[in-house]
Amino acid sequence: MAKKIAVLPGDGIGAEIVPPAVKVLKAAAGKYGHEFEFRWGLIGGAAYDETGHPLPQETLDLCRESDAILLGAVGGPRWDNLPVHLRPEAGALLPLRKQLGLYANLRPVKVFPQLADASSLKSELVSGLDIMVVRELTGGLYFGEKKKEEIPGGYRVVDTLVYTTDEIDRVARLAFALAEKRGGKLTSVDKANVLESSRHWREYVQGLAEEYPNVELEHMYVDNCAMQLVRAPKQFDVLVTENMFGDILTDLAAQLTGSIGMLPSASIGGEAALYEPIHGSAPDIAGKDLANPLATILSAAMMLRITFNMEEAAADIEQAVTAVLDKGYRTGDIMQPGMKQVGTKEMGELVLEHLSG
């Protein structure tokens, strides 16, 4: 029976970067005798424009009925003036993660050898870099109570940061398990010198360390971690942190790889896992055949590996991406002197050719 994949292109460049990834998934599945059924849905601003809501019930049902979800990107300035609950990011992504129970976001930060010189850091600092960031995804400031009330002279605004022990436990255990399989080092990132939530986070994670004797645990303040990612990124193996810190640090870490257009992600832990590039909808280049589809294609490889246990097919996709980079093909965001610049469609077709060949 064919496995079901919900396809949600979303907004901006989402409509351009998702189709190449779908083609790659079809080719990889066919190569190994598997079959996928792709079912398309609306999300984000595109969904609001058609249905009046950024996350229609039909789309939520589609995701729940699927084995995995491939997402493009959501958001754009045209929807910025909507009420918060109807904006694509707050009204679609956050409730989708919460409704599906996707509590952990896995963001690999890996530098392809061909792109070491494309990083804004010296190549010797990033060459061989391979980090996994585990971001808690359904708690913290983004989901806490929010208030805005008028007071004399202006307003009083409140965002509440809340974590329970159970929420910390499940994401920390996942991070420890990943560290056991990788380099054996886990860095827990917090702000325990200021925040009570971070103090509990640090104390609880430290207590869990006894159950993982093969993992070296260190704690690091988030501001220091940001500095260390730029100063000496290869000191890290697996990082685990709360929602907002993870959101910020992974965008910072993306630049180490040469472009945010190279970083895939997987949101797991609940019903159907969700796979998406970590970049946004880039409305300034939407429709111009300029976007880099590789992060979305690499997200598809993560889907094959994590949800469908198709390691060989996932590795084939990653090798096809490597082969294309080896031949000097680049989208504009990773363009280097002497390389051959291509557009979104051509980059996708090149990966497909190497995968099929």
- Domain coordinates of the chain in residue numbers? 1-109+263-357, 130-256
In order, the DSSP letters of 126-150 are HTT-EEEEEEE-SSSTTTS-EEEEE
Amino acid 260: pLDDT: 86
CB 299 within 8 A of CB 277: yes
CATH topology of domain 1-109+263-357: Isopropylmalate Dehydrogenase (3.40.718)
pLDDT, greater one: 270 or 30: 30
| Percent composition of the chain: helix, strand, coil (DSSP 3-state, to 5) | 50, 20, 30
Percent of the chain with pLDDT over 70: 100
The domains spanning 1-109+263-357 and 130-256 adopt the same CATH topology? yes
CB atoms within 10 A of CB 162: 12
CATH node for 130-256? 3.40.718.10
Please report which helix (H) or strand (E) contains residue 165, including its range. Answer: helix 165-181
Closest-CA residue to 355 (of 43, 30, 96, 90):
30
Would you name the residues annotated as active-site residues? 142, 191, 223, 247, 251
Amino acid 255: pLDDT: 84
Mean pLDDT score, 110-130 = 91
Owner of token pair 């045209």: 78
Mean pLDDT score, 261-271 = 92
Give 314-350 pLDDT, tens digit per residue.
999 999 999 999 999 999 999 999 999 999 999 999 9
